[in-house]
Structure 1
Amino acid sequence: MKRHSVRSNIIKMLIVFMCAITIVFAWLFYREKQDETRRIKDDEYGQYIVELNEVKQLYDSGSTDADEKLDAVMNELREQKIDTGKSGLRNIVIMYIVVLCVVIVLFLYIYVCVLRPFDELEDYASHLAAGDMDTELKYRRVNMFGSFTWAFDHMRTEIVHARRREQEAIENNKTVIATLSHDIKTPIASIRGYAEALVMNMDATQERRERYASVIMKKCDEVTSITNDMFIHSLHDLDRLVVKSDKVEIKPLLEQILSDIGLGMDIVVNGDITEAVLEHSDSGRVVQVIENILSNASKYARDTEISIVTECISPEKLPRNVHVSGADMVYRLSIKDHGTGIPDKDMPFIYEKFYRGENSGDEPGAGLGLFIVHYLMDRMGGDVELVNHADGLEAVLYFAARKVC
């Protein structure tokens, strides 16, 4: 109803506008016609006076040509009046036809280029408001709404993509929550079982009780790791993760990590741990990164030796695909297992959130470990590289550093 009201108002305004133009034009034409008639009369007035004087002189002289001359003058006046009237009528008719054609053409132009596209846009907006995002809006270059039509349809496609991404995010959230919920049940069940064994004093030997306590502590660490994953997953904006920019002495930190996490892992440090001071790093995040790599090595390469090599290298020796910002020296930390590695087809996607490769099997996890490692290394100005070897997978961490002499 509103659309028809707008259209009728536009038509009324157009008619009034064109009528006003027609009236003004007709008035101007009338004035021009009057001026033309006046000019004709002024130009011929003298001629008629001369001819009438000639007729008078003929009458005064008693000439027989006086009547003929008078008839000729009267005929000229009569013909001039008829010609002038016909010319004015013809001009008025032509002007009316021209104005009528202009009005019709202008109305058709406004309808085709303004009213009809506007109606289509309004219909399209109604479809969008009703939730119909599949209908495309045709783009026509011939109307003044062409660019706006394209922008409007582009907005629709962006809304469709945004809704699709939102739905995918919701599905990912459901998957991750279900996975993490499942993963957390296993260590909790183990903790409860060993705790009940301790409470019931099923084995009185000190050695067995210590082993139970050790298992409980290990399972608690697993629960902590899973809850950390849930916390990080709950952050829609990873920039909320605080990463400090400090100097970190890597040797004592790495020794402490190996001491804490080494229980149950066959870790071998090849050579001495290289001393260096990491630049632009956060000690807590460095621990998180290294523990993630070691945890993956232990999970996917069970019962194999994990070797660690540390060294300081110059930035010129970095691989082409590795980038370390603001570094005069680079600290290279290599962690290598002897498992099956990562399938080549999974390598391009290993740093994506929630991605789990074919080698994950039934191992618990949410596909966040390497994603977090890559993100934190990037925030600290470093980089991470995964390299498949014939005898296992090598994870290499690169930090901006200053070597300690």
Structure 2
Amino acid sequence: MNIGKMLRGIGVVLLAGLLLSLFILRNQGEGGVVDMVAVNTAVKAAEAHWKEIAGGDLNRWKAAVAASSANSESGAAARLTLIAGDGRTLYAGEDAAASIHDALRNGDTVADITVSGVPAGKLIMANHTAEKVKAARRELYAALAVSWTACAALCAAYLLYLHRSVIRPFNKLQSFAQQVARGNLDLPLTMDRNRLFGAFTESFDLMREELASARESEYRANLSKKELVASLSHDIKTPVASIKAVTELMLLSPAEDRMRKRLEAVLSKAEQIDGLVTNLFHATLEELEQLRVVPTEEYSGVLGGMLRNACYGYDIRIGAIPECMLRMDVLRMQQVVDNLLANAGKYAGTPVEAAFAASGNYLVMRIKDEGEGAPESDLPLLFNKFYRGSNSAGHSGSGLGLYLSRSFMRRMEGDLVCYNTRDGFAAELRLKLV
């Protein structure tokens, strides 16, 4: 649907309604014009036969009125009323007003009847102005109702179009941006590229791919640095060990006190160098364990929000959550849930089920997919740092997700275990009850 065509359609409907209203108003104005020829004819006939009329004989006057009208005699006279000068009603037609007051109220025509220059009475001709006005109003209201209804329908269709083509894609972009902000760069932004914002959303998806590529490059660079540090540490520790060994051997043989002090200083510095190199090596491997975990008392209902916030793009079924108080760090727990659902979407690509059950002092949250599971040989190694399973080919990752997740759970007085099932793979989170 083209926005320009929609706006033009609304404009055409409004213009048509306006023109129709003007046409009705114009016809109303024409319907209220007084037929002066008929009025003059009726007045002349009354003046010519006034003596007969005053005596109660109306036949010749009616005949004269009918002769000048295309209507029948009764039809022509039905619109007329004759009133004498003293206020008596000499004749009142079926469609005519009964008095001057009624005639003025109805907008009828009132004309004087003069006989020999002296006012003798009045003639009233019904114009039916009130009925014509009412009819015109009904037509005007009908025209306005039709035009505004059509306009409202077009506006509703336009709003529906905006919702489907603009608002809904923006909401999807908002959810996508939240996933990108959390670091979930493996989920593509699926959207019809032919829509109004097709190129815009495609650019967002390209940005996601570039970010994922940059993060992968950064990870590989950091891993290379760690490997370089480990290699250099090994290479440095080897000559330092030789220096320590030779120095210790020299200290076993007799020597002057001055020489002994120098050898002891060399040995001390060699041990200091060896300790610094060891610390440097361990720092590269333990830096990820410095993330702060602060468990607090939290209501179990927050788990549902975590699953819903983390399941953008995933088909997840959330079971009933028992009402209880748990000991957890909400931020770290959200990271754990994100990691588990990201792994399910990455390696299984099937619907995920989250079930809850109380077990002793723990609330067990079981997240299960319907994929092929992990190779049995990989199960004991899944929680090792930087370990990636044999089924990780073609999938981005650093091998730290499960390692960090179990570390966070244990620092929240809980635990994380993973195992294969008959029809998929399951991860059980044990959360400490308060």
TM-score over 0.5 (shorter chain) = no
More helix by share: 1
* TM-score normalized by the length of structure 1: 0.40
Structure possessing the higher relative contact order (Cα contacts under 8 Å, 6 or more residues apart)? 1
